[in-house]
Amino acid sequence: DAGKGGYDHYMLKEIYEQPTALRQAIRGRSDPLEGRAELEELADDAFEGIESVHLVAMGTSYHAALYTQALLADRGIPAQAFLSGEYGSNPPPTDDRTLVVAVTQSGETADTLSAIRSVQGTGAHTLAVTNVVGSTVTRECEDTVYIRAGPEIGVAATKSFSSQVATLVLLSERLSHDIVGGTPRATADLLEALSVLPDDVQRILDESTAETVATEYHDSDSYFFIGRGVGHPVSLEGALKFKEITYDHAEGFSAAELKHGPLALVTEDTPVFAVFTGRDDTKTLHNVKEIRARGAPVVAVAAEGTDRIEEYADHVLDIPNTHPDVAGVLANVQLQLVSYLAANELSRPIDKPRNLAKSVTVE
Ligand code: G6P
């Protein structure tokens, strides 16, 4: 209990450690005035000749990888996230123009190590993005960038996701600069938003109304999470957290997919969480209207002042106004709180969910 620092669970402690973890992730790496991201571990020519990026990861780290895929695509860099457990058995072509990034909190996930081993000898450049100094992945990859989140004990990953995304935002800016020449003004805006992200997360932790949502809906058996762009991996992560610790059915998907199947399952008994990031919000609002028309309760996670959101959502979990590329981190913190509080009301063993391990070291 001493290690929990007064919190009931490691997970809650780690949720509250996110402002500190984020400050550590970005410290010394971001220069908003110059519009430049600096990852001190990487040589100046680390990405020379790189034209495309593969990201390999599992679980929550896979959601950070999908988030990065969206960021890189937006910067005109061909990028694809893969479940590392699938990558090695059906390897896509790689050569010396490919950067393969292993995203892994522990640095020990067998599937991810195996994915990295599968490209050795193809000429691909390998980079580990990890939390654990000296972990196996750091020895298998040519380069390593640390997320500097500090130890994470709760099986359900929380602060490591936020720190991964912050670090991968920096990596995306560095790749954008090196591969397509970047746009310093756009980079400066994003780095500015990144620099206040720890304070924005703190505001959510201080002011969240997630408790009301958890109390009202924790008796439902099924939950859906939707979002677009970086809001899509955030909805996948929201659903993963929810199922891991509440043991209820939860499913995340792109809001764009709603009409192509999932809508058939939406009823007045299935609360739907809708993530708004400030990009394509009008389309997501349209989905929310469709959901409301089926009688399902809607919880919107959205920036204050998002157009007409109060009209269509039963609850709004506010996030501070920010750059859409980092809004997903803020939305995810609200969803972490809902999952934690719902699981707590259901008296689940939050830090050690049944059948799950912090690090899966067998394939
Ligand atoms: C397990 C954990 C997850 C984690 C995943 C990948 O499934 O329960 O929380 O996201 O492994 O772990 P890694 O250490 O590679 O990020």
Question: Is 352 designated active site?
Answer: no
130 in contact with ligand 1, CB cutoff 6 A: no
Instruction: Say how many CA atoms lie within 13 Å of 226 toward its Cβ.
Output: 28
CA 339 to each of CA 51, 247, 267: distance values in angstroms, whole numbers, following the listed order: 39, 10, 21
Cα-to-centroid distance, 64 and ligand 1 (Å): 11
| Rounded (10°) angle between helices 197-207 and 184-195 | 40
Q: Quick check: CB of 19 below 6 Å from ligand 1?
A: no
Ligand 1 atom with the shortest distance to the CA of 112: 15
What pLDDT does 311 receive? 92
Mutation test residue for ligand 1: of 61, 135, 160, the one with most atoms within 8 Å of CB: 61
Ligand 1, residue 244: give the atom nearest the CA: 8
Distance, in Å, from the CA atom of 351 to the CA atom of 340, rounded to the nearest integer, reads 10
Decide: 112 in ligand 1 pocket, CB within 6 A. yes
For residue 81, the 8-state DSSP code is: E
Q: What distance in Å separates the CA atoms of residue 144 and residue 130, rounded to the nearest whole number? A: 7
Query: Which 3 state secondary structure label does DSSP give 204?
Result: helix
Phi-psi region of 138 (alpha: psi -120 to 50; beta: other; left: phi over 0): alpha
pLDDT in tens, the chain (363 residues): 678 999 999 999 999 999 999 999 999 998 888 888 999 999 999 999 999 999 999 999 999 999 999 999 999 999 999 999 999 888 899 999 999 999 999 999 999 999 999 999 999 999 999 999 999 999 999 999 999 999 999 999 999 999 999 999 999 999 999 999 988 889 999 999 999 999 999 999 999 999 999 999 999 989 999 999 999 999 999 999 999 999 999 999 999 999 999 999 999 999 999 999 999 999 999 999 999 999 999 999 999 888 889 999 999 999 999 999 999 999 999 999 999 999 999 999 999 999 999 999 999
DSSP 78: -
Atom 11 (ligand 1): residue with closest C-alpha?
359
Question: Quick check: 330 and 201 in contact, CB under 8 A?
Answer: yes
The whole-number pLDDT of residue 182 equals 86
Q: What is the pLDDT of residue 333?
A: 98
Closest approach atom of ligand 1 to CA 157: 9
Q: How far is CA 129 from CA 67, 81, 120, 140, 243, in A?
A: 14, 14, 17, 12, 26
Q: With a 6 A CB cut-off, is 104 part of the ligand 1 pocket? A: yes
Q: Measured in angstroms, how far is the CA atom of residue 230 from the centroid of ligand 1? A: 20
Report pTM: 0.97
Residue among 58, 104, 108, 163 to mutate when testing ligand 1 (max atoms within 8 A of CB): 58
Q: In this prediction, does ipTM exceed 0.85?
A: yes
Would the CB of 118 count as within 6 Å of ligand 1? no
DSSP string, 97-146: TEEEEEEESSS--HHHHHHHHHHTTTT-EEEEEESSTT-HHHHHSSEEEE
The answer to whether the CB of 114 is under 6 A from ligand 1 is no
* Residue 336 Cβ < 6 Å to ligand 1: no
Ligand 1 centre to CA of 313 (Å) is 32
Tell me, what's the pLDDT at 273? 98
